């Protein structure tokens, strides 16, 4: 059996080793991956930085940033991930499972998200208010007219709840 001192020394040694791995291996790889994912998002985005788009209600906005939106989960069930799914499904809304990897009937692992500044004076001047994280996951995108509007909630969310009035 290990002594109290040996256990404490091992803990400190493992902490130092883990910190070294994070700083020297994980962080540089994560930074490189983030840069590549952002480049891919910019490539697939139908808009460019500087474009003026119509956000909802006819309001205009100027895009200042295009980044990636990623969902890094394995949701399709197979023999390898069956146990993972069994543990995870109790933590998720079932609607999220059905729709998480489908955007407008297209599968994706990453997609784009845009942010920018809202325009004022009927779209003639750049304002101070921002818009953030607009993705095709949550918005309908009209690429040709450069228009974006919120997607309506799924049908399951639009059920009649009037039976609560009787309670």
Q: Encode pLDDT of 35-54 as tens digits.
A: 988 998 899 899 999 999 99
Confidence at residue 72, expressed as pLDDT on a 0 to 100 scale:
47
Average pLDDT, the chain: 77
Q: How confident is the model at residue 29 (pLDDT cuts 50, 70, 90)?
A: confident
Report pLDDT digits (tens) over 77-86: 567 666 665 6
- Cβ distance 102 to 45 under 8 Å? no
Report pLDDT digits (tens) over 99-115: 333 454 555 577 899 99
What count of other Cβ atoms lies within 10 Å of the Cβ of residue 141?
22
What pTM does this model have?
0.62
From the list 65, 39, 38, 35, the residue with the least C-alpha distance to 50 is 65
Q: How confident is the model at residue 1 (pLDDT cuts 50, 70, 90)?
A: confident
Q: In the predicted model, is pLDDT for residue 60 greater than 90?
A: yes
- Cβ distance 61 to 116 under 8 Å? yes
Q: What are phi and psi of 14, to 5 degrees?
A: -70, -40
Report pLDDT digits (tens) over 129-141: 999 999 888 888 9
Class level of CATH domain 47-71+109-156: mainly beta
Which DSSP symbol is given to 80?
T
Q: In the predicted model, is pLDDT for residue 95 greater than 70?
A: no
Confidence at residue 97, expressed as pLDDT on a 0 to 100 scale:
36
Per-domain boundaries in the chain? 1-36, 47-71+109-156, 73-101
């Amino acid at each position: 059996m290990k002594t109290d001192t040996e256990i404490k020394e091992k803990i400190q040694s493992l902490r130092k080793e883990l910190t070294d791995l994070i700083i020297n291996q994980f962080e540089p790889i994560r930074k490189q991956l983030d840069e590549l994912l952002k480049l891919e998002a910019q490539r697939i985005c139908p808009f460019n930085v500087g474009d003026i788009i119509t956000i909802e209600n006819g309001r205009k906005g100027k895009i200042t940033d295009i980044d990636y939106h990623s969902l890094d989960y394995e949701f399709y069930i197979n023999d390898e991930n069956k146990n993972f799914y069994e543990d995870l499904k109790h933590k998720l809304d079932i609607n999220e499972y059905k729709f998480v990897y489908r955007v407008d009937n297209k599968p994706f692992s990453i997609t784009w998200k845009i942010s920018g500044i809202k325009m004022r004076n009927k779209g003639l001047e750049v304002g101070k208010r921002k818009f953030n994280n607009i993705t095709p996951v949550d918005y309908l995108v009209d690429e040709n007219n450069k228009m974006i509007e919120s997607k309506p909630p799924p049908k399951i969310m639009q059920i009649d709840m009037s039976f609560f009035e009787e309670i």
